Amino acid sequence: MRRPPAGLRVLLTALLLGSAAQGAPPPKVTASPPPRVTWLYQDRLAAPWEDLTWAGAHAMNARVAGAQGRHAISVTLGPWEALYFGHPGFDVSPDDTLVLRVNGGKDGANAAVRARVVIGTEQPVGVPLGPTCEGGAIPARRWTSCRVSLAKLLPAGRSRITGLWLQEDSGKALPPLSFDDIGIEQRSKAEPSQVAVASAGVGAPPPPRSAPGQGGKWVSGYYTGWNADDYPPEKVDFSALTHILVGRATPRADGTLSTQFDNDRGPEIARTLSKRAHEAGRKALIMVGGSGEHDGWVGAASDANRARFVRALLKAVDDFGYDGLDLDWEPVEKEDRPKLLALAKALREARPKLLLTFPLHWINTNFPTDADPWFAELATSFDQMNLMSYEMIGAWDGWRSWHTSALRGEQGPHPTSISSSLALWVKAGIPKAKLGLGIPFYGLAWRHITGPYQPFTHWSDYVGGDNSFTYKKILRYSKQGKYQWDEKAQASYVTFAPDKQVEDGTVTWISYDSPQAIAAKAAFVKQEGYGGTILWTLNQGCIDPESGANPLLDAVRAAFLP
């Protein structure tokens, strides 16, 4: 802690000693106590703050002429990249002030940088940093001090932050900048009529660090190129997301990667989405693989091709401006495991701050050992492990009709639910905070049977699902049917009377996730301490491409990100 200015110490001492010499009581000092600064960074990052920066290059211990201590922060910010300092939870007030020193370096005069706080999964818009600095802009070749009122960073009624961003603000790469002496200046709440005595002590110990995901739930939405027209990239509502997973890039057996994203305009769409995500303060990941790409994964991740494949993946991340990768390897056969694990470790070693997510299969409770502890070892290399908890039913021998994405109620001939699958993955060793559940933005349609708990007649009972029974279609058909809620399963569906069957005149019921089901899943995630949710797919939730209306995404925002 820095000491008060010498002049102030001399003045206070003289006042006190002078009064004592005259036999009079010491005067009552009525001036307000000086502000206290809690430092995030002074020569080093202060615990429990942690460095979560995403940027092309940065150093927390750079030697920069004119820095107050031995070290300062040096950073080269690409478009929308940011210095990011995370905290388990720090209490602030609109009366507080963010203080820092910045140096624009050789070419950084008037650099566009924005200051923003983080509140769980929220990143309010913040303010440009330059106008808050002495001189009204970030200068070149010299240090200047900046003061940002927290009243300009905090939404009304909020007083606990979980992070701070210093973000590139114009969509263009910046020259190297330096930062030093970053802190929060807070006025003492003590009675102002009392004499304040400064001491070089420390406050209460910081709270323990939260486990991953506990600072706020993630909402990771998949966006797929093959149906981009259903939800144009310019219409995606990022206020309802924390991450967007844009698909798909496809692995080739020789270790190369296709980045056409299943659309003639795929690369353009991918760049638009990453740019818009970063403008909104969200993360963007490339979905790699998916159903039908197993052979490509096996060849690309082989010992012979792995290094080439890692280079191709990281090049795609850089070329399209993304923050990470969703490795959608389906299915993971036992003989594939060493290759997948080696690939994940190679990516993590090559770029430690790369975001990595992985989709997990749901579990039939009759075969609990399918939740293999090997996946807990895999999870150590990933930030999210998300359950593909949709289409958890089929006309298999011995099964009865059931919901596509039941939250609870697994039993006997319908042995699947989200809660039981997640519980088995936790038992296998994956931390709850790394696990997310899946929400389908489409439904499964059936004929011959009129709801759950009924015997299947044949696989011809199945009419359609993914990429066919979108929420737009379900809403249109629901006008002819009856909405139903299964309290035991915490699942929704719609049924159709014999004279009102839809699609080809044979569909008798559709199982899907309504806003009611989404709210139940959000309550479950929060109550049980899971990490968040994935949405498959954002495109299928849009009901009007022109306006971008997406009622299911609105329901997710209200339930997961209030």
In 3D, which of 264, 259, 286, 263 has the Cα closest to residue 274?
Answer: 286
pLDDT band at 135 (very low <50, low <70, confident <90, very high): confident
pLDDT of res. 215: 42
| Contact present, 243 and 217 (Cβ < 8 Å) | no
Distances (CA, A) of 508 to 52, 386, 444, 463, 489: 51, 31, 11, 10, 20
116 vs 34: CA distance, rounded Å: 26
Determine the Cα angle at 27 with ends 22 and 29, to 5°. Answer: 155
Looking at the chain, how many residues does it have? 562
Determine the Cα angle at 384 with ends 165 and 469, to 5°. Answer: 110
| Contact present, 259 and 265 (Cβ < 8 Å) | no
Here the tokens at position 479 are 């006008």
Helix axes of 306-320 and 337-350: crossing angle, nearest 10 degrees: 50
Average pLDDT over residues 427-433: 97
Kindly report whether the peptide bond that precedes residue 380 is cis, defined as omega within 30 degrees of 0: no
213 sits in the region (left: phi over 0; alpha: psi -120 to 50; else beta) called left
pLDDT at 260 over 50: yes
Residue type for 334, please? K
402 vs 451: CA distance, rounded Å: 8
Distances (CA, A) of 319 to 169, 171, 254, 275, 322: 19, 15, 20, 12, 8
pLDDT at 32 over 80: no
pLDDT more than 70, % of the chain: 89
| Burial bucket for residue 513 (CB in 10 Å: 0-12, 13-18, 19+) | buried
pLDDT at 557 over 80: yes
Number of H helices, E strands in the chain: 11, 25
Strands (E), 344-455: 355-360, 384-387, 435-440, 444-447
Q: Which of 8-17, 215-224, 288-297 has the lowest mean pLDDT?
A: 8-17
Distances (CA, A) of 149 to 95, 118, 129, 153, 160: 7, 15, 11, 7, 15
In 3D, which of 200, 198, 201, 246 has the Cα closest to residue 221?
Answer: 246
pLDDT at 27 over 50: no
Average pLDDT over residues 364-377: 97
Give the chain's domains with CATH numbers.
36-186 (2.60.120.430), 218-560 (3.20.20.80)
What DSSP element (H or E) covers 387? Answer: strand 384-387
What pTM, to 2 d.p., does this model score? 0.65
pLDDT band at 205 (very low <50, low <70, confident <90, very high): very low
Distances (CA, A) of 482 to 444, 463, 464, 496: 16, 19, 19, 6
pLDDT band at 108 (very low <50, low <70, confident <90, very high): confident
Here the tokens at position 253 are 């057996």
Residues β-bridged to residue 332: none
152 vs 169: CA distance, rounded Å: 16
pLDDT of res. 36: 86
273 vs 255: CA distance, rounded Å: 26
Residue 209: CB atoms within 10 A of its CB come to 14
Q: Which of 152-156, 218-222, 420-424 has the lowest mean pLDDT?
A: 152-156
Here the tokens at position 552 are 């299911």
pLDDT of res. 188: 53
Here the tokens at position 157 are 């009624």
pLDDT of res. 9: 37
Sign of CA pseudo-dihedral 315, 320, 323, 324: negative
Higher-confidence residue of 80 and 359: namely: 359
| Contact present, 147 and 97 (Cβ < 8 Å) | yes
**pLDDT, the chain, mean:** 89
Here the tokens at position 294 are 């197993």
In 3D, which of 297, 362, 282 has the Cα closest to residue 329?
Answer: 297
62 vs 76: CA distance, rounded Å: 12
pLDDT band at 156 (very low <50, low <70, confident <90, very high): confident
Q: Which of 5-14, 45-54, 334-343, 465-474 has the lowest mean pLDDT?
A: 5-14
Query: What secondary structure letter does DSSP report for 407?
Result: S
519 vs 461: CA distance, rounded Å: 29
- Give residue-wise pLDDT tens across range 386-415: 999 999 999 999 999 999 999 999 999 999
pLDDT band at 34 (very low <50, low <70, confident <90, very high): low
Average pLDDT over residues 477-487: 96
Residues β-bridged to residue 167: 82, 114
- With a CB cutoff of 8 Å and minimum separation 6, the contacts of 100 are 145, 146, 179, 180, 181, 182, 183
